[in-house]
Amino acid sequence: MAAVSLNNVVKKFGTMSVVHGASLEVADGEFVVFVGPSGCGKSTLLRMIAGLEDISAGEIVIGGRVVNDVEPAERGIAMVFQSYALYPHMTVEQNLSFGLRMNGNDKADTQRRVSRAADILRISELMHRRPRQLSGGQRQRVAIGRAIVRNPQVFLFDEPLSNLDAELRVQMRVEIARLHKELGVTMIYVTHDQTEAMTLADKIVVLRAGNIEQIGRPLDLYDDPNNQFVAGFVGSPRMNFMAGTVVENSSSVVTVKLANQGGALLRKPLGGPLPAIGAAVVLGVRPEHFGLAGRGDSDITVKVDVAEHLGSTSYVYANAGGGEELVIEREESRHEASLDRMTVSLRATHTYLFDSAGLRLR
């Protein structure tokens, strides 16, 4: 087990910078998830930790040792790839033992490690099959097994579940969480699926365009995002955003007029500097934070487009004019599906205010 530190890590391809000074601390035994949209640099960051990409500037420390110039195999890491990267011409057993055999590891020890990994992942009966004879989930297990046999200090996962169907993805997610609990090693996991991030992580690192936007525990990010991007990225369905204008600011309270919501006014207390009158702001509301009409600080009326009934809850997709589409979560009440319009309330304490640059106003 080992802690991992990234100090101002930069990655450039030619003159193009793709990671702009990432700094991060991963504690020993922690499960950290890098999450962000495609092209945000999360896989590049992981490959730099693995040693598969050189870093252009900065420092990577694993287990107290600077590893900038250390070969991947010497870093004490093991990596699971998105495509599984199983050697197609070898059996499962040969896949698991390949690295150890090539490095001249003792035969008995290799056998013992392979058996242990197979037991942990329940793939003992698949040992003589080739990758093409395995299902997606089994292949993923073998790929994880290949990482386990190395007894790494740090596991690196590069979108390991993205090739699986929805059901298997949930199953494997649980398996990975179990594995983390069982092995207790540091794990760094890359995904673009925020549900995976929320369910697996001790700590989430949200990336955008090569920058770390926010680092925190899943619920901290959910409850207290630093900016509009994080607020929108974490949570499913995503946070609703409504354009507004500050019409009054006094005594640590701003009044925001929501032009696209029939000019509804919401008074929101803020602790920091208040935006100027006339400033454009964005009000964020999570789908579950819309209340029943008349029960909050301000009401808005929206036109219902579609309602999705999921059993215990339903999601109402509503159009409020000005191109703003809202998703409203309600406890299951089927009669709302037939409504053309509905009125919901906003509660100031359950809203988030962002300035025109997307930064949170607290």
Partner 1 sequence: MRSKSSAERRRGIALHAALFPLALIWLFPLWMMFVFSTLPENGIFSRDIILTPSDQFVENFNLLESDTGFIRATTISILVAAAYTFLSVALTSMAGWSLACYRFAGKGVVLATILGTLTLPYFVVVIPQFIMVARDFGLHNTLFALIVPPLFNSLGVLFMRQTFSMMPHELFDAARVEGVKEWRIFLFIGLPLARPAVAALSIILFLHSWNNYLWPLLINSKPAMMTAPVALGSLIGLTKVSWGGIMTGAVMLTAPMLVLFVALQRHFVAGISAGAVK
Where along the sequence are the contacts to partner 1 (CB under 8 A)?
A: 47, 50-52, 71-74, 77-79, 81-83, 85, 87-89, 98-100, 102-103, 146, 150
Query: What is the pairing mode between strands 351-354 and 77-80?
Result: unpaired
Query: What is the pairing mode between strands 298-309 and 341-346?
Result: antiparallel
Between CA 114 and CA 110 the distance in angstroms is 6
Q: Which is nearer to partner 1, 16 or 102 (CB)?
A: 102
b (16+ CB within 10 A) / e for 191-209: bbbbebbbebbebbbbbbe
Write down the least CB distance from residue 278 to partner 1, Å.
53
Q: Which is nearer to partner 1, 85 or 209 (CB)?
A: 85
> Which residues partner with 13 through β-bridges?
16
Q: Which is nearer to partner 1, 74 or 305 (CB)?
A: 74
The DSSP output letter for 194 is H
Q: Which is nearer to partner 1, 80 or 231 (CB)?
A: 80
Residue 86's Cα: distance from chain center in Å?
26
Q: Count the alpha carbons within 13 Å of 343 in the hemisphere toward its beta carbon.
A: 10
Write down the least CB distance from residue 75 to partner 1, Å.
9
Write down the least CB distance from residue 163 to partner 1, Å.
12
Write down the least CB distance from residue 212 to partner 1, Å.
24
Write down the least CB distance from residue 99 to partner 1, Å.
3
Q: Which residues contact 219 (CB under 8 A, 6 or more apart)?
A: none
- Phi, psi (rounded to 5 degrees) for 101: -65, -45
Q: Which is nearer to partner 1, 155 or 222 (CB)?
A: 155
Q: Which is nearer to partner 1, 6 or 100 (CB)?
A: 100
Write down the least CB distance from residue 81 to partner 1, Å.
5
b (16+ CB within 10 A) / e for 45-84: bbbbbbbebebeebebbbbeeebeeeeeeebbbbbbbbeb
> Which residues partner with 182 through β-bridges?
none
Write down the least CB distance from residue 82 to partner 1, Å.
7
Between CA 293 and CA 266 the distance in angstroms is 14
Q: Which is nearer to partner 1, 79 or 318 (CB)?
A: 79
Write down the least CB distance from residue 140 to partner 1, Å.
13
Query: What is the pairing mode between strands 57-62 and 4-13?
Result: antiparallel
Q: Which is nearer to partner 1, 1 or 85 (CB)?
A: 85
